[in-house]
Amino acid sequence: MVKKSEFIWNSISSIVASMLSAVLLLFCTRINGTVAAGIFSIAFATSVILNAIGDYGIRVYQVTDAKRNYHFGEYLGLRVVVVTIMFLVGVLFVFLSGYELEKLVICLLLISFRVVDNLSETYQGEFQIQGRLDLGGKSVVIRNLAAMLVFFLLDIATHNLILSTFGLCLTNLTIFILYDINKMKDFSKEKINFSKKALLKLLKDCFPICISTLLSLYLTNCVKYAIDYFGSYEMQTYYNILYLPIFTINLVSLFIIKPLFKVFGEYWNQQKIKELTRIILLLIGIIIVLTGLLELVCAFLAIPILNFIYGVDLNPWKMDLLILNY
């Protein structure tokens, strides 16, 4: 089962990773204003949706591959292929969208940030297989906290979102090289493997997860594109702030589900369907209860807290917040 240290570091890393968008939006709003924050928000949303391509369900498949049908080098080879596709699709999208220069550059930089994140996910998957999910958690914590700090310092010094976002990406890449790649030397000496047979089989096996993730991300972000097309950057900022409490449910889901990926794979391969079903139903029940509790918090506390933190007036949109959470 999951060790205590693995659960603790996974929990901390989930908190930090979920904080990323909220904290960066806070910095943008406070330092650069609501218009700049709106530009950053839609660029961030684009990177999140495209992340479904770079993610491609590889981490889930990798960790639940209890029989080790594929090895780390093959998973890494697939990851390099899909993140390359993700970046090229991103380049095509931003140019066809006719974004102004600042928005275009920030969008490409945030997509690059996701490239590094996804490469790191492959290393974290191998750490988890080796019983060291805590190492993956530490990687997420160090990379994200350092990246947020660099972004803040550069933005407050220059008020330049492009330079600040570049610092965010460079920090993420540097720590990935120094931490993830260096730590992997203790677990695997495998080189990246672009075996055509393995790549084609993995592309096929992981495709359903990729599609489900892509649809889920699109559904949660499509409103942002409607606002980008019909509304204003200020409206974009308000919507993104209102949407932040909803990430609490996603945060809790990551707490309890990610450490169990390996267990799911073992139960499935051992045909322990009753035990697997019991765990899944328990997780669904926990999420339903927590969603109800979050609705109560949103009804009485969320708006005053968000007003104070972000320095904006969200009182006219209280009902919108409750509908979003529901």
pLDDT digits 0-9 by tens, 54-90? 989 898 889 888 778 888 999 999 999 999 999 999 9
Per-residue pLDDT at 114 exceeds 90:
yes
Q: How confident is the model at residue 106 (pLDDT cuts 50, 70, 90)?
A: very high
The confidence score (pLDDT) of residue 308 equals: 84
The confidence score (pLDDT) of residue 312 equals: 81
Contact between residue 227 and residue 1 where contact means Cβ atoms under 8 Å apart: no
Pick from 49-58, 193-202, 239-248: least confident = 239-248
Domain ranges of the chain: 4-325
SS (HEC) of the chain: CCCHHHHHHHHHHHHHHHHHHHHHHHHHHHHHCHHHHHHHHHHHHHHHHHHHHHHCCHHHHHHHCCCCCCCHHHHHHHHHHHHHHHHHHHHHHHHHCCCCHHHHHHHHHHHHHHHHHHHHHHHHHHHHHCCCHHHHHHHHHHHHHHHHHHHHHHHHHHCCHHHHHHHHHHHHHHHHHHHHHHHHCCCCCCCCCCCHHHHHHHHHHHHHHHHHHHHHHHHHHHHHHHHHHHCCHHHHHHHHHHHHHHHHHHHHHHHHHHHHHHHHHHHHHCCCHHHHHHHHHHHHHHHHHHHHHHHHHHHHHHHHHHHHHHCCCCHHHHHHHHHHHC
The confidence score (pLDDT) of residue 64 equals: 82
Pick from 49-58, 163-172, 262-271: least confident = 262-271
pLDDT digits 0-9 by tens, 118-145? 999 999 999 988 888 889 999 999 999 9
| Alpha carbons within 13 A on the beta-carbon side of 302 | 25
The confidence score (pLDDT) of residue 325 equals: 64
Contact between residue 230 and residue 218 where contact means Cβ atoms under 8 Å apart: no
Contact between residue 68 and residue 77 where contact means Cβ atoms under 8 Å apart: no
**What pTM was computed for the model?**
0.84
The confidence score (pLDDT) of residue 258 equals: 67
Mean pLDDT value across residues 186-215: 87
Contact between residue 235 and residue 244 where contact means Cβ atoms under 8 Å apart: no
Question: Can you tell me the distance from the alpha carbon of 213 to that of 71, in angstroms, rounded to the nearest whole number?
Answer: 23
pLDDT digits 0-9 by tens, 250-288? 666 666 676 677 677 778 777 788 888 888 888 888 878
The confidence score (pLDDT) of residue 248 equals: 65
Per-residue pLDDT at 3 exceeds 80:
no
Average pLDDT, the chain: 86
60 closest CA partner among 253, 251, 181, 206: 206
Per-residue pLDDT at 168 exceeds 90:
yes
